[in-house]
A and B are shown apart, each in its own frame.
Chain A
Amino acid sequence: MKEFIEGSHAIAEVIKSCRPGVISAYPITPQTHIVEDLAQMVADGDLKSQFVNVESEHSAASVVLGGSATGVRVYTATSSQGLFYMQEVVFNIAGMRLPVIMTCANRAISAPINIWNDQQDSISLRDSGWFQLYAENNQEAVDFHLIAYRLAEDKRVMLPVMVCMDGFILTHGMETVDIPEQEKVSKFLPDYKPLYKLDPAEPISMGLLADPDYYMETRFAIQETMRKSVGYLSEISREFNDVFGRDYKDLLVEEYKLEDAEKVIVAMGSVCGTIKEVVDEQRAKGKKVGLLKIISYRPFPYARIYEALKDVPKVAVLDKAVSLGAYAPVAVEIKSAFYGKKKGPKVISSFVGGLGGRDITMETIYEVFRRLSAKEVNFDFVDLKPELLKEEYGE
Chain B
Amino acid sequence: MFGPLIVNPLNSKGDKTGSWRTLSRPHYLHKDCIACRMCLLICPEGCVYGKEKNSFWADYNFCKGCGVCADICPKKDIAMVPEESKDDGK
Contact = CB atoms under 8 A, between A and B. Distances in A.
22 contacts: A97-B2, A196-B6, A203-B9, A204-B6, A204-B7, A205-B6, A205-B7, A206-B5, A206-B6, A208-B7, A208-B12, A211-B20, A213-B15, A213-B19, A217-B3, A218-B3, A218-B5, A220-B1, A221-B5, A224-B1, A225-B1, A228-B1
A220 B3 contact: yes
Nearest to B19: A213
Contacts of A203: 8-9
Interface string B1-40: 1111111110010010101100000000000000000000
A217 B15 CA distance: 14
Contacts of B7: 204-206, 208
A329 to B, nearest CB: 26
A214 B2 contact: no
A375 B4 CA distance: 49
Interface of B: 1-9, 12, 15, 17, 19-20
A205 B7 CA distance: 5
A370 to B, nearest CB: 47
A321 B5 CA distance: 34
Contact of B5 (A96, A213, A220): A96
A218 B1 CA distance: 9
A113 interface: no
Interface of A: 96-97, 158, 196, 203-206, 208, 210-211, 213-214, 217-221, 224-225, 228
A196 to B, nearest CB: 5
Of the listed residues B3, B5, B9, B12, the one surrounded by the most CB atoms of chain A closer than 10 A to its CB is B5
A211 B15 contact: yes
Contacts of B19: 213
B4 A218 contact: yes
B66 to A, nearest CB: 17
Contacts of B4: 210, 214, 217-218
Contacts of B1: 220-221, 224-225, 228
A-B pairs, 3 with minimum CB distance: A221-B3, A217-B3, A218-B3
A9 to B, nearest CB: 37
Contacts of B12: 205, 208
Nearest to A95: B5
Nearest to A203: B9
B8 A211 contact: no
A96 B6 CA distance: 9
Nearest to B20: A211
Nearest to A158: B2
Of the listed residues A206, A208, A224, A225, the one surrounded by the most CB atoms of chain B closer than 10 A to its CB is A208
A299 B35 CA distance: 61
Of the listed residues B3, B4, B9, B15, the one surrounded by the most CB atoms of chain A closer than 10 A to its CB is B3
A221 to B, nearest CB: 4
Given A158-B2, A221-B3, A214 B15 contact: yes
Contact of B8 (A204, A213, A221): A204
Nearest to A217: B3
A369 to B, nearest CB: 43
